[in-house]
């Protein structure tokens, strides 16, 4: 666990006024990374760091060589169309670059004159995937989501016996991960027959759903055959973003046995553009919260650091708008809210478990948490849970109701870190609108 350092000092403010505005949520304590360009331009995508309502163009900053040592080495990797090279460098470099950027953006910094001309307004930007994602893994670490989903398919034993012993995960499809704003075409496929022994139906999914998750980008990773221990795991977490694991429940119900979800999820996965570094999240650690009546983690998944502060306090929200609500200029409606602190396993435990068999992680790998539902009914982060397996319609404030997503619906995921006496950190958002199936 990284100690707090001068970059976490809540008293710091920036020479950029909008960075000091809590409504905007990108203070000098934050400094998340994305890959961006001016929207609808022919510019190359390049790395940037958020500050207030602006983006610092790191490719331009690198040309001006404002830093030295590890920070300069780290900044020099920020010139291409992805952050993979920065992710590969590791925690010492990431931390040095964060410190240099923190010092350069504080009120009074002599580097204000260098950086100010390199700012691009977020309002004028578009984003690409922040890394070339070689492998995408999705876990399933909310016990509330696992129990709610299990109740629908296995009322007698909703939680499987392995859940409390290991973080359950599966390999996802990397090619179809898209950045926020990309429209999602309703998938077509086979769906479970209405009754056993009948042929499956075939056509556009009738049970298209969202899932609010968080995800981490990995670096530097490990050689094949060599595991990452729990003591080392944090240093392989570059940062965190939002993830919408779009899911076609009817396709999933038919194909899932015996090898797990496949086409039900591989048509699209949306992530938010800003990667919030692990170091920025350090002030929001909470103690690992495992009930004493539950099995304690096996030794390879546990250490003092996890115990003291394994879980992050990150508030999560899912909102919806529909064609009708947008036409009537209603604000998007809150569907549910939750918090990453409900995770049964820590992010570091996911890293260690993933590599315990010798599986090699690589810089730019994306690892999802699974749907981060909380204990209460309004903390259910998918329609499948909100509608209790399509038995209860969810009422929207403008009079419509939903059991699953309809064409034209748009889901927006948001996250933020807040606590008294510390500037608010926004994660930005991950949006996606449903387009009709292709015939």
178 binds a copy of itself (CB under 8 A): yes
333 lines the binding site for a copy of itself (CB under 8 A): no
Contact call for residue 433 and a copy of itself (CB under 8 A): no
- Cα angle 285, 286, 287 (rounded to 5 degrees) comes to 130
Cβ neighbours of residue 418 under 8 Å, at least 6 residues apart? 315, 424, 425
Taking the least distance from each CB to a copy of itself, the nearer of 134 and 330 is 134
Near a copy of itself by CB under 8 A: residue from 261, 310, 332, 368: 261
Handedness of CA 400, 404, 406, 409 (dihedral sign): positive
Cβ contact 338:313 at 8 Å: no
Question: Which residue, 227 or 236, is less far from a copy of itself as judged by CB?
Answer: 227
Among 114, 118, 256, 390, binds a copy of itself (CB under 8 A): 256
Q: Provide the minimum distance between the beta carbon of 107 and a copy of itself in the complex, in angstroms, as a whole number.
A: 44
Alpha-carbon distance of 217 to 233, in angstroms, equals 13
Rounded to a whole number of angstroms, the minimum distance from the CB of residue 11 to a copy of itself is 43
Task: Point out the residues that are catalytic.
Answer: 145
| Member of 72, 188, 334, 388 binding a copy of itself (CB under 8 A) | 188
What is the DSSP-derived secondary structure letter of residue 92?
H
Closest contact distance (angstroms) between CB of 149 and a copy of itself is 8
Write the secondary structure of 227-269 as one string of H (helix), E (strand) and C (coil): CCCCCCHHHHEEEEEEEECCEEHHHHHHHCCCCCCCCCCCCCE
Contact 332, 324 (CB under 8 A): no
Under rule CB under 8 A, residue 140 binds a copy of itself: yes
Residue spans of beta strands (DSSP E) within 272-392: 276-277, 285-286, 311-312, 315-321, 333-339, 366-368
Per-residue contact string for residues 216-255; x = within reach of a copy of itself by CB under 8 A: --------xxxx--------------------x--x--xx
Per rule CB under 8 A, count of chain residues that contact a copy of itself = 64
Query: 62, 141, 168, 343: which one contacts a copy of itself (CB under 8 A)?
Result: 168
Residue with tokens 């909100």: 386
Give the binding range for a copy of itself (CB under 8 A) out of 12-20, 120-128, 174-182, 341-349.
174-182
- Binding to a copy of itself (CB under 8 A) within 354-413 occurs at 354, 356-362, 365
Contact yes or no for 170/261 (Cβ under 8 A) = yes
The number of angstroms, rounded, from the C-alpha of 97 to the middle of its chain's C-alpha atoms is 22
Considering beta carbons, is residue 7 or 266 the nearer one to a copy of itself? 266
Give the contacts of 257 (CB within 8 A, at least 6 positions apart): none
- Residue 3 near a copy of itself by CB under 8 A: no
Residues that bind a copy of itself (CB under 8 A): 134-135, 140, 150, 160-162, 165-166, 168-176, 178, 185, 187-190, 196-197, 199-200, 202, 224-227, 248, 251, 254-264, 266-268, 295, 298, 300, 353-354, 356-362, 365, 435, 438
């Amino acid at each position: 666990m990284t100690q707090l350092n001068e970059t976490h000092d809540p008293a710091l403010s920036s020479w950029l006024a909008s960075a000091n505005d809590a409504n905007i949520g990108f203070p000098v304590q934050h400094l998340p990374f994305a890959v961006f360009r001016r929207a609808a331009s022919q510019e190359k995508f390049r790395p940037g760091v958020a500050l207030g309502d602006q983006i610092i163009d790191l490719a331009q900053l690198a040309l001006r060589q404002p830093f030295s040592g590890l920070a300069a080495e780290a900044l020099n990797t920020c010139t291409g169309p992805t952050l993979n090279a920065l992710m590969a460098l590791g925690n010492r470099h990431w931390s040095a670059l964060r410190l240099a950027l923190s010092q350069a953006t504080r009120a009074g910094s002599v580097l204000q004159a260098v950086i100010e001309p390199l700012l691009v307004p977020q309002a004028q930007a578009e984003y690409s995937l922040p890394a070339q994602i070689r492998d995408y893994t999705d876990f399933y670490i909310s016990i509330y989501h696992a129990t709610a989903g299990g109740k629908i398919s296995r009322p007698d034993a909703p939680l499987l016996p392995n859940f409390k012993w290991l973080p359950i995960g599966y390999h996802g499809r990397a090619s179809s991960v898209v950045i926020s704003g990309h429209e999602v075409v309703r998938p077509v496929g086979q769906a479970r027959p209405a009754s056993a022994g009948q042929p499956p139906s075939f056509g556009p999914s009738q049970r298209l759903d969202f899932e609010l998750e968080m995800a981490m980008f990995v670096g530097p990773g490990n050689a094949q055959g060599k595991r990452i221990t729990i003591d080392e795991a944090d240093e392989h977490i570059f940062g965190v973003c939002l993830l919408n694991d779009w899911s076609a429940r009817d396709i999933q119900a038919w194909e899932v046995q015996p090898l797990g979800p496949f086409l039900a999820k591989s048509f699209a996965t949306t992530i938010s553009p800003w990667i919030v570094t692990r170091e920025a999240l350090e002030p929001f650690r909470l103690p690992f919260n495992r009930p004493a009546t539950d099995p304690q983690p096996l030794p390879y998944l546990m250490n003092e650091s996890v115990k003291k502060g394994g879980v992050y306090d990150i508030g999560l929200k899912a909102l919806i708008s529909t064609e009708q609500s947008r036409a009537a200029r209603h604000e998007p409606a809150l569907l549910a809210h939750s918090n990453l602190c409900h995770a049964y396993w820590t992010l570091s435990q996911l890293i260690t478990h993933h590599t315990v068999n010798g599986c090699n992680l690589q810089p730019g790998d994306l690892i999802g948490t699974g749907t981060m539902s909380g204990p209460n009914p309004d903390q259910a982060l998918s329609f499948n849970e909100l509608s209790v397996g399509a038995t209860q319609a969810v009422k929207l404030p403008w009079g419509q109701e939903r059991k699953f997503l309809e064409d034209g619906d748009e889901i927006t995921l948001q996250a933020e870190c807040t606590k008294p006496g510390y500037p608010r950190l926004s994660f930005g958002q991950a949006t996606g609108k449903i387009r009709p199936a292709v015939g």
